[in-house]
Amino acid sequence: MKKLAALVLIACSWSFAHAADSACMAAAKEKKLAGAARNSFVKKCEADAKTKCELSATEKKLAGAAKNSNVKKCVQETGPASS
């Protein structure tokens, strides 16, 4: 049970650290946004990126796990300048 808890903790830490390194978060830092302004900017940026990436995956005729993986990777790489 302790091993499972440790794995979950590690997985959560990795996902939060990975999300913090997104292109949208980097753009927010570059713009020196903080607090609610940063959160709002990142949320909108990632939503816009997800929409764009889902359309791209649909055009590529991806489905299921392949589509989800492609969209997830695309969202992390797509910043506000690309939107």
In a domain, 82, yes or no: no
What percentage of the chain exceeds 90 in pLDDT? 51
In a domain, 28, yes or no: yes
Higher-confidence residue of 53 and 21: namely 53
Collapsing DSSP to helix, strand or coil, 22 comes out as coil
- The structural domain count of the chain equals 1
In a domain, 56, yes or no: yes
Whole-Å CA distances, 79 to 15, 43, 63: 18, 12, 24
In a domain, 32, yes or no: yes
What pLDDT does 39 receive?
94
Overall average pLDDT of the 53-57 stretch: 93
Structure tokens at 36: 């609610």
Structural domain containing residue 60:
2-77
Residue 32: pLDDT band with limits 50, 70, 90:
very high
